[in-house]
Amino acid sequence: MLNDPDVESALADLQRRQVISRIWSGDHTVWKPDPTEIADRLGWLTVTDFMREQTPVLEAFADEVRDAGFRHFVLLGMGGSSLGPEVLRQTFGSAPGYPDLIVLDSTVPAWVRSVADSIDPARTLFLVSSKSGSTTEPNMFYAYFRELVEKAAGKDLAGRHFIAVTDAGTPLEQMGEKQGFRRVFLNPPDLGGRYSVLSYFGLVPAAIIGLDVGMLLDRVGGMRQVTASGVPVQENPGARLGAMMGVNAQKGRDKLTLVTSPAISGFGLWVEQLIAESTGKEGLGIVPVAGEPVGTPEHYGDDRLFVYLRLDGDDNDESDEAIKAIEASGQPVVRLDLRDKYDLGAEFFRWELATAIAGSILGINPFDQPDVQAAKDMTESVLGQFASSGELPAMEDSASLGKLLEMAGPGDYLAIMAYVVQTPGIDLALDGLRRRVTERYGIATTMGYGPRFLHSTGQLHKGGPASGLFLQITTEHVQDLAIPGAPFTFGVLADAQALGDLQALRASGRRAVRVDVGSSPELGIRMMAEDVA
């Protein structure tokens, strides 16, 4: 890894203060004097011991699902309950004979419809995944798909098409019991959503699509051994990465730019939430830059730390050359080598520990999310106005992307928040926009599909450093979808979430604009990219 005297000094300080052993012993004072939302959030350190015991149960349940003839497996969730499984889906796919996983974490009606159109409800298993059991989006998804399943399979058998992962005592647990779910998995309560990928939230989906859960946990176990309290801090891979993250952020290199081998590119989705929601608060934070098209060194400022996750045997020629040039230009680069895809298990744990250590260096609590509620409250207010008037408040276009980018300065970044359905064409259009912005303005770019990012980078946007320029992209809902039992449609909900987030950003003093791209989002995004160029 990168040698930096400041990092070595930070590691020595961690050793002197016995930070690693204190973390493993559950000492909340590593982060804050107050134990609130720390002492009851450290279960990620040991949850794999419990999950190892549950592996035969998960494997038996996966066999049951496969033998039942389900073709698709749809996960209904948001944030910590959906991003880890999405990484596993993108990286591994489904083993032969196991159902194909689809992750739904968007209320945009075209996205919900695309999932409904791609499945046979009578041969689909749905997972309702929510720690609190009361998250709005999974509840709306459930209402919609429950009705489809009842029509396709009958009311008496509909419950057998649903399972849940939640904490004990939640409304979701109660609903699962009352409505005949095939299974309800009760997760250990002492870990937050973004630290839950190695619990039931990540491993139930992993088992159902045919992953070798035991092998994944073996890799986690290996990383736990080399990051344990008895290992000298200088030799601890989690501590070293965490020190690099924290120290570089203190020096102004707070844009952690993740470059990956193609086959593990999905990892950025998970690590983005982990870093952003854990460190982005109290006006501080590390900005994770995932999925940004890799450019040439002259377009990068001195606010970057590059981390290269390299998978052995993958098609690495292009990324190898790009990283070599970036490193030669004097940018700090950390390289992490993976033997095969199952090493992602080790990386999940390494990054969890590293983020916790970076939080200690920055002096923040990495386990709370104090600013996430702001957008939720604004959304509830907007929906309240809709309930009383039948209309959403006006979503005026206050400025253009060009006007927003005129404010860009050194150390700033552009956050693209796209409330549109994800398609390969739109992915490419957004990549083009990000590349053009970096090439012309020399700033980092992040991109999230809404409302998914509200449960991920949304905390950083409001609570982190005031260096963001926020571009909200909305679209016309050509075909809306009703939500059974709800006083609003998916289109109204998505628009309310977009408006609520925009209001929350402006209330936090952020530089934010909204651009509506009408009924042709791909074309509208490409036109914005041309305007930037």
Domain boundaries, the chain: 5-29+229-362, 44-211, 372-532
Question: Does domain 5-29+229-362 bear CATH number 3.40.50.10490?
Answer: yes
Q: What is the CA 24 to chain-centroid distance, rounded? A: 25
Digitized pLDDT (tens) for each residue of the chain, 533 residues in all: 677 999 999 999 999 999 999 999 999 999 999 999 999 999 999 999 999 999 999 999 999 999 999 999 999 999 999 999 999 999 999 999 999 999 999 999 999 999 999 999 999 999 999 999 999 999 999 999 999 999 999 999 999 999 999 999 999 999 999 999 999 999 999 999 999 999 999 999 999 999 999 999 999 999 999 999 999 999 999 999 999 999 999 999 999 999 999 999 999 999 999 999 999 999 999 999 999 999 999 999 999 999 999 999 999 999 999 999 999 999 999 999 999 999 999 999 999 999 999 999 999 999 999 988 888 888 999 999 999 999 888 866 567 899 999 999 999 999 999 999 999 999 999 999 999 999 999 999 999 999 999 999 999 999 999 999 999 999 999 999 999 999 999 999 999 999 999 999 999 999 999 999 999 999 999 999 999 98
CA pair distance 533, 515, nearest whole angstrom: 18
Token duo for residue 404:
């927003």
CATH of domain 44-211: 3.40.50.10490
Give kind and range of the element (H or E) at residue 64.
helix 47-67
Closest CA to 213 of 196, 225, 198: 198
Q: Enumerate residues 6+ apart whose C-beta is below 8 A from 465.
A: 254, 280, 283, 284, 285, 287
Give the pLDDT score at 372.
85
Q: How many CB atoms lie within 10 A of CB 37?
A: 17
- 372-532 adopts what CATH topology? Rossmann fold (3.40.50)
Tell me the three state secondary structure of residue 281. Answer: strand
Alpha helices in 81-198 (DSSP H): 83-92, 109-117, 136-153, 155-158, 171-178
CB environment 109-125: b (16+ within 10 A), e (fewer): bbbbbbbbeebebbebb
Tell me the three state secondary structure of residue 215. Answer: helix
Token duo for residue 464:
């982190």
Give the pLDDT score at 371.
87
**Long-range CB pairs of 502-505, under 8 A, 24+ apart, other chains included:** 502/395, 502/472, 503/378, 503/382, 504/374, 504/375, 504/377, 504/378, 504/462, 505/461, 505/462, 505/470
Give the pLDDT score at 55.
98
Give the pLDDT score at 448.
97
- One-letter amino acid at 519 equals S
Q: What is the pTM of this model?
A: 0.96
Token duo for residue 152:
């396709």
Is residue 45 a contact partner of residue 357, using CB atoms and an 8 Å limit? no
Closest CA to 497 of 380, 371, 369, 372: 380
Alpha helices in 416-533 (DSSP H): 424-441, 458-463, 490-507, 521-532
372-532 shares the fold of 44-211:
yes
